[in-house]
A and B are shown apart, each in its own frame.
Chain A
Amino acid sequence: MQEDFHYYATYAAAYLAGFSHEECCEICYSAQYVDNCTATLLSKINGPIEAATTQLNLELMDTRTDIIGIQEITKIWSSFHFLPGDIFATKKWAGKRYLNKYRLICHPNGQLLADSVNLAKDKSLQAIGIAMHVLADTWAHMYFCGTPSLVINNTNYYFYELLPDGDNYREREVKFRHKTSEPDDIEKGLYTNTIYQGSETSVMNLGHGRAGHFPDYSFARYKYMPAWDNYNEVIKDNPSDYMNAFCQMIHAMKYLGGSIGTFKLNHYDREAVEKYSDRINQILTKRQLNASADWKAFGEELSCKDIPDYDMNKYESEYLSAKNSEKNSTFLGRFIKAAISHKHMVSSSISDSGNPLTGIPSAKKLFGL
């Protein structure tokens, strides 16, 4: 997902969940900051590198793709952007090496999502923001995994956009081009994706790069053949998925805010959005590359307050000027603490399941003893 959903839509969901304007701003800023907190940024503010929640393209280019490098990449991307749906999934005839990657495929409503939300309970607003980013991405990025893998993340010529045509949809074949310097042209159907690389662990095969930005466009409906699904066709309906993400975020934030007692998977607070569902659907289905303006207008209508524009450097001076003993009480200090905690929880869950892609498990767990 992009800034429009992670920042402005999360603000709206937090407000509908009962948080105040100031709390919503902290939550939504933290949710968006997950997409900006790189090792480069952390080294600039003298923060701990292990708190990195994403990686720049340049950092990915420099990362090795041996087992150590793969673990570093997988820890970040699987924890924050491609949360696995079932780390104990099985597949017929699949060897252990394949299964390790298959089990990292992102799906919504997995046990790890419940663990992530519960981890944020009674913690800082920054922890809530991180959990909301992870929750939202489980809907957008489903069917891809947060480790470089050709056999899981690859797509091929069978990729069609479903354009509304009256009551039905017509298919338009998607021909990806490799022009990162130009934005996607949604009218002409010109989209950019990562270049095909035959190497299994190439960073070009990380996440949803092979599907371009389709998973991040709320208006997109498309069908394709995931590499892992035995020639089955997957139809992705982003407007519906994004609505589910929005309703689930409200449910999760009501739990984290104390309004309700438990967080349930497969539970969506549609009552809270009933009054606004037409408006939200209009935003989600509008064909535009960035819906920030629409989501911002919606959020400001809800709270009757101005939502500040997202500024990546807003809290850096506070963190830099704080004494070492006081850094944890700054905004970024709380974010860093929450990020490290979340990353550790997800990575250790995956490695404890016997999967070495986020860390070497004990011999007992590795061999299923």
Chain B
Amino acid sequence: MPISFYVFLIFYYILLSAQRLYNNSMSKTNSNNKVNKQNLERLLRKYNNNLVISGVGVLFFGLWSVLKLFEEMALGVVDLNSYLMSDYEYTIVDKILYYIFFFIIVLVILLIHYIIGSSSIKVGLGKKRKFFYLFLTAFSLVGVIGSLSLYFTEAIDKSAYDTTIASFLVDIALSLALIDVIVSSFAAIILKRKLRRL
């Protein structure tokens, strides 16, 4: 099955969850508006709390991804030269440019995680109303889920089974955190609209 199919499945599940939440909040309408309002406020606090927790998770996962890469380079597991350059002989300027490009990519990855994490935390604390981070979250989610297939397609060194499984689990956890950011954001938006109407 192509990766796009799995990505489509995940987004479909996210939209289904958001719609279910909206329907639940609508069906909880009863004659006692005060009870309904209290219930909606409670749910809003829950999803805001989820945003804060998932935001912290995404921040740490971002840091961990970069840290893991540098650790692997330091221990010799990953050879930067073989990743960046082929057998051709490059000039020193080319090599420097490639290294700078590599570190810019690393910083961009870190920045994306930071924007998602910090925005999610600020939205959860009620200090921010922007939505750009949701696009970045969706983009990151696609990237992370797409990379999961590599665990099954690439050959794994027998001595590295334990670290590979650990990395796989961390990536799954990151995916769940990103999904939670999206679901909780939409749920919070729906609940705020509902509360404004009451």
**Residues of A with Cβ closer than 8 Å to B?**
156-158, 225, 230-233
**Residues of B with Cβ closer than 8 Å to A?**
41-43, 45-46, 49, 52, 125
In the complex the two chains form, what is the Cα distance from A158 to B125 in whole Å?
9
* Chain A residue at minimal CB-CB distance from B45: A231
The answer on a CB contact under 8 Å between A157 and B125 is yes
B residues less than 8 Å from A232 (CB atoms): 42
A residues less than 8 Å from B42 (CB atoms): 230-233
The answer on a CB contact under 8 Å between B52 and A225 is no
List of 3 A-B pairs having minimum Cβ-Cβ separation, nearest first? A231-B46, A231-B45, A231-B42
A residues less than 8 Å from B41 (CB atoms): 233
In the complex the two chains form, what is the Cα distance from A232 to B43 in whole Å?
9
In the complex the two chains form, what is the Cα distance from A230 to B42 in whole Å?
8
In the complex the two chains form, what is the Cα distance from A232 to B42 in whole Å?
6
Tell me how far the C-beta of A243 lies from the nearest C-beta in chain B, rounded to whole angstroms: 26
Tell me how far the C-beta of B50 lies from the nearest C-beta in chain A, rounded to whole angstroms: 10
* Chain B residue at minimal CB-CB distance from A229: B42
A residues less than 8 Å from B49 (CB atoms): 156, 158, 225, 231
* Chain A residue at minimal CB-CB distance from B125: A157
Tell me how far the C-beta of B45 lies from the nearest C-beta in chain A, rounded to whole angstroms: 5
* Chain A residue at minimal CB-CB distance from B47: A231
In the complex the two chains form, what is the Cα distance from A300 to B46 in whole Å?
50
In addition to A158-B45, A158-B49, A231-B46, 12 A-B residue pairs with Cβ atoms within 8 Å of each other are A156-B49, A157-B52, A157-B125, A225-B49, A230-B42, A230-B46, A231-B42, A231-B43, A231-B49, A232-B42, A233-B41, A233-B42
The answer on a CB contact under 8 Å between B45 and A233 is yes
A residues less than 8 Å from B52 (CB atoms): 157
* Chain A residue at minimal CB-CB distance from B41: A233
A-B contact list, 14 entries, CB within 8 Å: A156-B49, A157-B52, A158-B45, A158-B49, A225-B45, A225-B49, A230-B42, A230-B46, A231-B42, A231-B43, A231-B45, A231-B46, A233-B42, A233-B45
A residues less than 8 Å from B45 (CB atoms): 158, 225, 231, 233
* Chain B residue at minimal CB-CB distance from A230: B42
In the complex the two chains form, what is the Cα distance from A353 to B165 in whole Å?
45
In the complex the two chains form, what is the Cα distance from A157 to B43 in whole Å?
17
Tell me how far the C-beta of B123 lies from the nearest C-beta in chain A, rounded to whole angstroms: 13
B residues less than 8 Å from A233 (CB atoms): 41-42, 45
A residues less than 8 Å from B125 (CB atoms): 157
Tell me how far the C-beta of B43 lies from the nearest C-beta in chain A, rounded to whole angstroms: 8
In the complex the two chains form, what is the Cα distance from A303 to B49 in whole Å?
52
Tell me how far the C-beta of A222 lies from the nearest C-beta in chain B, rounded to whole angstroms: 16
| Residue in A157, A225, A231, A233 with the greatest tally of chain B CB atoms within 10 Å | A231
* Chain A residue at minimal CB-CB distance from B53: A156
Tell me how far the C-beta of B149 lies from the nearest C-beta in chain A, rounded to whole angstroms: 34
In the complex the two chains form, what is the Cα distance from A231 to B45 in whole Å?
6
Tell me how far the C-beta of A156 lies from the nearest C-beta in chain B, rounded to whole angstroms: 7
